[in-house]
Amino acid sequence: MGKPTGFIEESRTSTPRRPVELRLRDWREVYETQSNQVTETQASRCMDCGIPFCHQGCPLGNLIPEWNDLVYKQSWKEAHDRLQSTNNFPEFTGRLCPAPCESACVVGISGDAVTIERIELEIVERAFSKGWITPQAPMGQCNKSVAIVGSGPAGLAAAQQLQRHGYQVTIFDRQEMPGGLLRFGIPEFKMEKHILDRRLDQMIAEGVEFRTNTEIDADALIRLRSDFDAVVLAIGSTIPRKLDLDGSGLSGILPAMEYLKPANITNRPASHLDANGKDVIILGGGDTGADCLGTAHRQGARSVTQLEILPQPPVTRRADQPWPTMPQVYKITSAHEEGGQRIYSASTERFIASDNEDVSGLEVRVDGTLTVLPADLVLVAAGFVGPETEGLLSSAHLNTRGCISVDVDWLVEASSENLSPLFACGDAVRGQSLIVWAIAEGRAVAASVDEILSGSTSNLPSPVQPYQLSW
């Protein structure tokens, strides 16, 4: 490393967030800008460890020590080349990934981990500003076509890999705009939509075709397998977990995505979904719950309470979650800085109806005591249970978790006399997971498509293999 004592001499400096009173007035990203000098100093903290466990922590296999060292040496373009070699969309992961690489950082054993995620973001944003990121011409033309169903991070990664390798790629999506949860689930204050559109514009310029407002059912899937040389299902895990409780059908109780989608499209949702002046209860203490929390703040909610059924996690690693695993620790997101109440070990017993059958409150048991919380809007952010496969695939194509079953080549079904091979990847296979896993699996399925269609995949690395085949 360029500065082997950097991790001793320099302390971790996280990027400051914009003042709460300012950021609540708009939907812009919450972070302040960071100077090149600060980023270079933070990169110098990457130590010359014998085994860089951050590689193991990152599903993409990002070459983290290499681009940290290049940033410290002010070789930004070379740093971007290293970063782009393993990650198609670092501007997404640099904003949205929970950074398992930092949990695995060797510096983190006895101190604060390197700010890997922020350095990654600074590299790619500098690359965009300098014009280093441009549409790439395909390596050649193989005269074969691939259909990808779903335009989330897994589908986009597979598409870009294959298009650049000479395939003609068409992405089909049922939504009115491409991007999946990147567009409809991630609020502007975490990632502004022009960041997504900037990358989509590049992909379109490279030749990827997007067909939106297109629902794919079993018959349409057969047509795709007849018309294209391969089909990839990257449909995500979008079935929300339901709560089977008394009163759960009352008006004003919504899955989180039903609330977030209109807010993310317009920033001014329909009146019955707007939190303005309402007492809001969020069921679920994860990232989606925090997204709802920040959105409700910006809509002017009267009060927001986030309920988590589990106990409050500790601020440091538990003994049963040792380094380099990613621990469950107490986090304060930007949304939590902005207000609201968090209640742990809270079990909802039932929903209370108003005279006109709207939700008016919840009966909640907290540490064994029953209490009633007022609520005009209840958002269920309890996760997702699997992909929406009804009318698309038979139960024979699903595993015991309800996810799409694939073999070691990411194949759902091999080619037959009249139909091309069918592949699947991302959350549709893995279940609800991290954006970094989605991108990694999109890259991996692209390599498998290439190998099966052309017999070789020397130029398309396959960083991960399906691990849930026995489920």
Rounded-to-10 torsion of CA 76, 78, 80, 85:
-170
Rg (CA), the chain: 23
Q: What is the dihedral of CA 308, 22, 99, 123, to 10 degrees?
A: 170
Our CA angle for 253, 256, 262, nearest 5°, is: 100
pLDDT (tens digit, 9 = 90+) per residue, 233-266?
999 999 999 999 999 999 999 999 999 999 988 6
At 138-149, the pLDDT tens digits run: 988 889 999 999
Q: Does the pLDDT value for residue 271 go beyond 90?
A: no
At 460 the pLDDT is 75
How buried is 22 (Cβ within 10 angstroms: 0-12 exposed, 13-18 middle, 19+ buried)? exposed
Pick the CATH number of 6-129 from 1.10.1060.10, 3.30.930.10, 3.50.50.60, 1.20.120.1690: 1.10.1060.10
Q: Does the pLDDT value for residue 46 go beyond 90?
A: yes
433-457 average pLDDT score:
93
Work out the average pLDDT over 46-73: 93
* Ranges of H-type helices in 110-239: 116-129, 153-164, 181-184, 193-206, 218-227
Checking DSSP bridges between strand 346-353 and strand 359-366, what pairing results, if any?
Answer: antiparallel
Could you please state the CATH topology (level 3) that the domain comprising 145-238+385-454 is classified under.
FAD/NAD(P)-binding domain (3.50.50)
Question: 166-223, pLDDT tens digit by residue?
Answer: 999 999 999 999 999 999 999 999 999 999 999 999 999 999 999 999 999 999 999 9
Residue type, 407: D
CA distance 77 to 95: 20
Spatial distance between the Cα atoms of 465 and 445, rounded to a whole number of angstroms: 9
The pairing of strands 145-149 and 230-233 is: parallel
**Domain boundary assignment for the chain:** 6-129, 145-238+385-454, 242-382
Q: Which of 111, 360, 368 is nearest to 252 (CA)?
A: 360
Domains 6-129 and 145-238+385-454 share a fold: no
- Which segment of 271-275, 378-382, 435-439, 444-448 scores lowest on mean pLDDT? 271-275
Q: What is the CATH number of domain 242-382?
A: 3.50.50.60
